[in-house]
Structure 1
Amino acid sequence: MKGSYDYIVVGAGSAGAVLASRLSENPAVNVLLLEAGPKDNSFWIHLPIGYGKTMWSKKYNWCFHTEPDPGMNNRSIYWPRGKTLGGCSSINGLIYIRGQREDYDHWAELGNSGWSYDELLPYFIRSERNQRGASEYHGGDGPLSVSDIGDKNELIEAFISGAGESGVPRTDDFNGEKQEGAGYYQLTTWKGWRWSTAKGYLKPARNRSNLTVETNAQATGLILEGKRAVGVRYVQGGISHEARATGEVLLSAGALQSPQLLQLSGIGPAAVLQKFGIPVVHELPGVGENLQDHLQIRATYEATIPTTNDQLNSLIGQAKLGLQWLLHRSGPLAVGINQGGCFMKALPDEAKSPDIQFHVATLSADMAGGSVHPFSGFTLSVCQLRPESRGHAHIQSADPMVPPAMVPNYLSTDLDRRTAVASLRAARAIAESASMKPYVKREVKPGPDATTDEELLEFSRNHGATIFHPSGTCKMGVASDPMAVLDERLRVRGIEALRVIDCSSMPTLVSGNTNGPVVAMAEKAVDMILEDARKGSGSEDVSARHDPKTEPATTSV
């Protein structure tokens, strides 16, 4: 036994670090945070472009692979996932996107009260320290630092103008009144450094005596008494431990491992549990189902001007990049890979709001984090924002150290297949625009031989990959939905004192990158946890101290 705590948080990632920091603001509350990976003390974690290194690091990355996917010509797709303090926020592509108003209003329409855009916006604002300062849509003093890409780039400017020729207006804020537009991304960076939730939320809280952080501590299952969660089992240094929770257990292990832990603990689809001899404590058929992800399709081009490829392929170029970062905290090392983007409609007759997203990189490689090409290259990476395809994540062993089987079922619906083709045609239209054509020497992939819908779809099957947003496997929903794992307060249905707070909680995938939304969800979850605790104990209304509409973040950075 390692002791007793009010709250145990499993996973110190984008959500878990927020939960542990906020809950431990009350010195009367004891919090245990368990993280399966090590501390985030690698230089490559903190250097923005360093995720090209952590993308393949088995120390800081789970390095998962999906099962062979029929929709991808039976390819197994590499799925990196963060395994360190900060989780995926320590190894991701840094882009700060919230999604569309319609995403969250749809959650509320599904019966998840409290999750509309207007109700979640205050939590986005509370979490954010935007370089531009506070405004109607942005926070100025929150723990999560967000900054602009300072320098204009010739290629990005050409892309923005080319998108304009396709009817997409220029925008300077994808997270403002509307998402549609082309422009530069804002990043979770600050003065040339990555700003993960470990840095923004957890680091200022680490000296609190009521917060215990255990790294290299992999949870192996829940401790249940009847249908109440009372603790967590975990392994650290080869030794098994148990920790007890007098309040709640909060799972924030991510869309793959939160459902895995539930299934290992006897909570999930009976047939899956029985297959591995796990007694069914509570049958919840939706655990591990509803898996969604953004499929990334990369169109690569050789440029007529030098790009970041040339700098990275030259020792002198690398030295100049390093010097630019050392002296000014600027340049490619400070902004990662994708600088610009675009949200637009690939199927304008069907989509009510933007249905695809571009990530534009001033370099090119065969895959994200791969070695750059030997020529001057750039990438127009495009993904469908709201895929219909659904997969699952199921345990494939009773051994908690064996990863779950991940089955995304990419391109399994007609809409998803048509959107993939239309998105590549949209990329070509921008590349062939009057503004961008002078910068294009040749299309490398898909290449000029891919002209028909069938050929473009086949290219998508052969080369598509994740853009790192698996979600939905413990979705919240109404009681009448047999596949809903959580209620609207993120409590596991049928099990007391247990919540899931991470991307798996999303009923449908948001229209964009997922880190910002998960941080806001965790901020909201803290208020719900405190409010429910107050109602259960009759103590003071501590939730009033956390009103996002009236009070700035109490964890300053």
Structure 2
Amino acid sequence: MSDHYDFVIVGGGAAGLVLANRLSADDQARVLVLEAGPDEYTDVHRDPERWAQVSLSSGDWAYLSVPQAETYQDRVYLAAGKVLGGSSTINHLIHMQAWDADFDAWAYQGAAGWSAQDVRPYFEGIVESGGGPLPSLDAGQAGNPLSQAFIDACVELGYPRFSDYNTGESGVGWHRQNIKNGMRHTVRAGYFDPVRSRPNLTVLDRATASRLLFEGKRCVGVEYLRDGAVHQVAADTEVILSAGAIESPKLLELSGVGAADQLARLGVPTVLDLPGVGEAFQTQPLVIGPSGYMDRPGPNVGTANEPVLFWNSAPGLPAPDMELWFLPRAPWGDTLLKTLIEWKNTGGGAINVTEPAYIDPHVVLLLGAVVRPLSRGSVHAVSTDATAAPAVDPAYYREPGDLDLAVRIAELGREVLAQAPLAKGWGLVEASPGPGLVGSGGLREWVRRNTGSFHHYSSTCRMGVDGDAVVDLRLRVRGAEGLRVVDASVMPSMPSGHTHATTVMIAERAAEFIAEDHAR
């Protein structure tokens, strides 16, 4: 291997770019980032209103799940950023720290040192108010009047208002967003762009990692595909796998790290027998609806992702397990449904989505998420072809309690749409599932047929101290040398809400671990 770096980071997403910033701050450290997607940052990416145009594009991995038994064998669309900045370049810009109970649960599950008390300073340090690079804008500053009507409807049902969920409050209120001067300002803008000219930092885009290179149990480099050729690069200090909760376990398996029987099926020699690789996958099921139709078009102001209700399904829960999200100008309707169906039937592939054509200004949409799912699925490589998508099994509703909760969230959504601030204030009537659907049995079937993904993924390389943990509490791959995993795959369990800020927090902590472990 003629090319040598101190650190090779596989994946230029949220975690990878945080690490690129922090590790290259040492001007003696040579840092390489390998990103499978393009180095693109166009107006489509910058404009918070155009997020739907990135869906199903060349900047989206656009996975299809394996058929889901509880959703009538549907193959669910799973978005993930395949572009420099990763999913932080295509996401809905939500900045959410989750609740203390989420991280205390990590500690109780064996991740000592990752409790709320341990991680809270890192959350505070990543936002501008704490001296960090990320904004946390109150979406209500330029909110849509329809969004305010949603908040009023929830209050009418007895739910309290919160001022900022990042202080631990639950109830109904405005999202916090990574928006600055009206534009997307996530990890690429906040962490990477200010330092990309550092002479010791190199980024190779359109570079797909095909396997990790080992000498014994030590990871010494990465093989990757670029411009139709196979390349190898040496890592003199560490390889850091930051490819996300779907690609990271796949690459480990292609490199001989995983369950021995799974590796044997692939025909890959075992380097490390780690049965937890690709297991314990968590992703939140998302009920697409209910929706409402108004007797007049809604205002064309604000962003599409503004207000939210977080609440507990039962008294005594330490954190919310239900999220109800209101989209006042949702890119939803018959045209988009037709496009998605055609896309699934043809097996995926990039298409050109033109968001304005899908927006009906009379339609509002609720998205209901089971944010603390009980079900656990898996992600596994199916071929030694590094460009082949893995088998992704979200295991939606495998645990019946998840479906019960999804139905309850849908019922709550119908109640919200029926309240006076929306029904009378905007002449709104329920469009889907529609007033003709009555009874819990019918709603249960409707939920099963209208479940998608919230596009948050975790836990396939989870940290811990038990036998199925993949990384230790400093995110080093167990049994290996020179190899760490730093992304959402290491989360012991899914936080109650949105995962982007938690991923950034993990990367900030990892940068400190790496600096401490390799102090010059």
**Which TM-score bucket, shorter chain as reference?**
over 0.9
SS in 1 for 2:14: coil
Find the counterpart in structure 2 of residue 174 from structure 1.
165
Would the alpha carbon gap of residues 506 and 189 (structure 1) be closer, same or farther in structure 2, given more than 3 Å must change? same
Q: Contact conserved, 1:363 with 1:372, CA < 8 A, in 2?
A: no
Would the alpha carbon gap of residues 440 and 233 (structure 1) be closer, same or farther in structure 2, given more than 3 Å must change? farther
Q: Cα deviation per residue 1:484-537 (whole Å; 9 max; x = unaligned)?
A: 111111111111111111111111000111111101110011111111223xxx
Structure 1 residues 92-107: aligned runs within 5 Å: 92-107=91-106
Does structure 1 residue 457 correspond to structure 2 residue 423? Answer: no
Q: CA deviation at 1:153?
A: 2.6
Find the counterpart in structure 2 of residue 266 from structure 1.
256
Q: 1:500 aligns with which of 471, 480, 485?
A: 485
One-letter code of the match for 2:386? P
Alpha-carbon separation, structure 1, partners of 2:135 and 2:31: 24
Q: CA deviation at 1:349?
A: 4.3
Find the counterpart in structure 2 of residue 532 from structure 1.
517
Structure 1 residues 408-557: aligned runs within 5 Å: 408-438=394-424, 439-478=426-465, 481-534=466-519, 539=520
One-letter code of the match for 2:421? S
Q: Contact conserved, 1:36 with 1:217, CA < 8 A, in 2?
A: yes
Q: CA deviation at 1:355?
A: 1.2
Alpha-carbon separation, structure 1, partners of 2:187 and 2:142: 25
Q: CA deviation at 1:95?
A: 1.0
Find the counterpart in structure 2 of residue 304 from structure 1.
295
Alpha-carbon separation, structure 1, partners of 2:48 and 2:215: 44
Alpha-carbon separation, structure 2, partners of 1:523 and 1:5: 21
Find the counterpart in structure 2 of residue 200 from structure 1.
190
Q: Contact conserved, 2:418 with 2:429, CA < 8 A, in 1?
A: no
SS in 2 for 1:212: strand
Once superposed, what is the RMSD of the aligned Cα atoms? 1.7
Find the counterpart in structure 1 of residue 322 from structure 2.
356
Q: CA deviation at 1:116?
A: 0.8
Alpha-carbon separation, structure 1, partners of 2:16 and 2:385: 24
Structure 1 residues 11-22: aligned runs within 5 Å: 11-22=11-22
Does structure 1 residue 4 correspond to structure 2 residue 4? Answer: yes
Q: Contact conserved, 2:329 with 2:361, CA < 8 A, in 1?
A: no
Find the counterpart in structure 2 of residue 155 from structure 1.
146
Q: CA deviation at 1:158?
A: 1.6
Find the counterpart in structure 1 of residue 306 from structure 2.
339
Q: TM-score, normalised by structure 1?
A: 0.86
One-letter code of the match for 2:368? V
Number of matched pairs: 497
One-letter code of the match for 2:265? K
Alpha-carbon separation, structure 1, partners of 2:88 and 2:452: 19
SS in 1 for 2:457: coil
Q: 1:397 aligns with which of 383, 388, 410?
A: 383
Alpha-carbon separation, structure 2, partners of 1:305 and 1:173: 31
Q: Cα deviation per residue 1:257-296 (whole Å; 9 max; x = unaligned)?
A: 0000000000001121111211111111110011111111
Alpha-carbon separation, structure 1, partners of 2:365 and 2:117: 35
Q: Contact conserved, 1:301 with 1:440, CA < 8 A, in 2?
A: no
Structure 1 residues 13-32: aligned runs within 5 Å: 13-32=13-32
Q: Contact conserved, 1:99 with 1:179, CA < 8 A, in 2?
A: no
Would the alpha carbon gap of residues 304 and 2 (structure 1) be closer, same or farther in structure 2, given more than 3 Å must change? farther
Q: Cα deviation per residue 1:228-285 (whole Å; 9 max; x = unaligned)?
A: 1111111111111111111111100001000000000000011211112111111111
Q: Contact conserved, 2:476 with 2:484, CA < 8 A, in 1?
A: yes
Q: CA deviation at 1:2?
A: 5.2
Q: Cα deviation per residue 1:433-470 (whole Å; 9 max; x = unaligned)?
A: 33333135321112223322222221121111001101
Q: Contact conserved, 1:159 with 1:435, CA < 8 A, in 2?
A: yes
Q: After the TM superposition, which of the residue ranges 163-172 and 3-12 deviates more from structure 2?
A: 163-172
SS in 1 for 2:13: coil
Runs of 5+ consecutive residues of structure 2 not aligned to the other structure = 338-352
Alpha-carbon separation, structure 1, partners of 2:442 and 2:474: 45
Find the counterpart in structure 1 of residue 350 from structure 2.
none
Does structure 1 residue 376 correspond to structure 2 residue 342? Answer: no
Find the counterpart in structure 2 of residue 35 from structure 1.
35
Q: Contact conserved, 2:324 with 2:409, CA < 8 A, in 1?
A: no
Structure 1 residues 273-284: aligned runs within 5 Å: 273-284=263-274
Q: Contact conserved, 1:485 with 1:493, CA < 8 A, in 2?
A: yes
Q: CA deviation at 1:195?
A: 1.1
Q: CA deviation at 1:92?
A: 0.5
Q: CA deviation at 1:373?
A: 5.5
Alpha-carbon separation, structure 1, partners of 2:229 and 2:443: 51
One-letter code of the match for 1:207? S
Q: Contact conserved, 2:422 with 2:428, CA < 8 A, in 1?
A: no
Q: TM-score, normalised by structure 2?
A: 0.92
Q: Cα deviation per residue 1:174-232 (whole Å; 9 max; x = unaligned)?
A: 101x2312111111110111112111111111111111111111101100111111111
Q: Cα deviation per residue 1:404-448 (whole Å; 9 max; x = unaligned)?
A: 010111011121011011101111222223333313532111222
Find the counterpart in structure 1 of residue 340 from structure 2.
none
Q: CA deviation at 1:375?
A: 6.0
Find the counterpart in structure 1 of residue 84 from structure 2.
85
